[in-house]
Amino acid sequence: MKNFVLGQYMPGDSYLHKLDPRLKIIATIVIMVAVFFLKNIYEMMGALLILIVILLSARLSILKVLQGLKPLIVLSIFVFVFQIFFNKGGEVLYQTSLSFSISSIIAIVVITFFYFFLMRYMKLKVLYFFLYVSLLFVSLKYLLYPDVYYSFNLEIYEEGMNTSLFVFFRLITVVSLATILTLTTKPTELTLGTEYLMKPLKIFKINPEEFALIISIALRYIPTILDESFKIMDAQASRGADFKQGSLTKKVGQLVSLLVPMFVISFERSDQLADAMESRNFVPGKPKTKYRALKWQTADTISLIFSLLLLGGSICLYILF
């Protein structure tokens, strides 16, 4: 969670940083829709290449964006494994027999013990987890002494592998696009862009200024609240609390000790924000002047055409193939 980057802004002077926030919001939505029109892994690999080009044009570190995907690791692994094991379409790509014996059960217990014992010392926990799964697989595959008590077949099908990779890459692409939007757009510009785009909602008596302000405050305080939670966790850890180890009951109790001060800090932050807005004569529902006016430029038009071409291309691929 310390590498959670959604909602943060990275200053820069790249092509993407200079674009109009209205264009970036529209283009992000259009490209996301285009991604959902893709139907196979080859088309999705093309979308990933376009995503890399966008990252390079924004001069953003690919590792920085990947760090923002860490909260989705558990969901991604679940989707990946679910599709591989339960999608039985196509040809069999891999087939093997796994067995439980006394030696394999002992090995699984020992490996699991050392996995949880050494987890607190590991920095690359994802790679450590895959190492753990690989050792379990080797134990079930080759440790057959003295007798096999239960065996089962593991089969990986072509369609299951393709679908799992397709869903995995689509999830990464969609979340990365949202991350790029927040990394290259200031919260104030994001608020202005959202407000301009929501002006037609006045027909339904919805105030776009207030709605955009809510979104802006939420995005602005995501990293702030996370930073406060890390400080509380460090303070609790200095007093002997361990949020990573222990039984489920103990973890729930430690979570309560984290949530209570978090709620208190959140209410204090909201009071401070309300006082700051009141000191600046903020009145909900009243018309406000703009310190900065948004200007649509030629680069914005070119970028909009590019995003619409991507959408049109994905629709054509969906219809034709």
Question: Containing H/E element for 95?
Answer: strand 92-101
Neighbour count for residue 54 (Cβ, 10 Å) = 19
CA distances from 143 to 62, 94, 128, 137 (A): 41, 20, 22, 10
**Is 16's pLDDT higher than 80?**
yes
Average pLDDT, the chain: 82
Write down the pTM of the prediction.
0.74
pLDDT one-digit tens code per residue, 98-153: 888 889 899 999 999 988 888 877 777 777 888 888 898 889 888 887 877 888 88
**Is 33's pLDDT higher than 90?**
yes
Instruction: Give the pLDDT score at 265.
Output: 85
Q: Where are the domains of the chain?
A: 208-284
Asked if residue 184 lies in contact with residue 13, where contact means CB atoms within 8 angstroms, the answer is: no
pLDDT band at 6 (very low <50, low <70, confident <90, very high): low
Neighbour count for residue 298 (Cβ, 10 Å) = 7
pLDDT one-digit tens code per residue, 208-228: 877 777 877 877 777 778 778
Number of residues that make up the chain: 321
Token look-up 């703009």 returns 290
CA 294 from centre of chain: 29
pLDDT band at 252 (very low <50, low <70, confident <90, very high): low
Instruction: Give the pLDDT score at 279.
Output: 86
Check residues 90 and 170 and name the one with the higher pLDDT.
Answer: 170
